[in-house]
Amino acid sequence: MAKICQITGKRRMIGNNVSHSKRRTKREFALNLRTKKFWLEEEKRFVTLRVTAAGIRNISKNGLAASLKSASEKGLINLV
């Protein structure tokens, strides 16, 4: 499964390790991904999402239903 946040759409980034001698080698900036269950009150069920810490803050700020709606409009998740 890809390392993508299902709410924000953030992905891993590729960059460089830069040593003291300025030698560059490729590296990956990984996400702070968590698999978390959220209670969806409208449907009286749990929803399991792979979200970043920023996605969890987004859900607490805007609410789960609004976050799921905006993520489905962006094409990040399929609401079933």
pLDDT for the residue 50: 96
pLDDT above 70 as % of the chain: 98
Rounded to whole angstroms, the Cα distance separating 43 from 32 reads 28
Mean pLDDT of 30-36: 96
Mean pLDDT of 24-30: 97
Query: Confidence band (pLDDT; 50, 70, 90) for 1?
Result: low
25 CB-near residues (< 8 Å, 6+ apart): 16, 17, 19
Domains, the chain, with CATH or none: 31-80 (2.30.170.40)
**pTM score:** 0.83
Helix (H, G, I), strand (E, B) or coil at 22: coil
Mean pLDDT of 38-58: 96
- b or e along 35-63 (b: 16 or more beta carbons within 10 Å of the residue's beta carbon)? eeebeeeeeeeeeebbbbeebbebbeeee
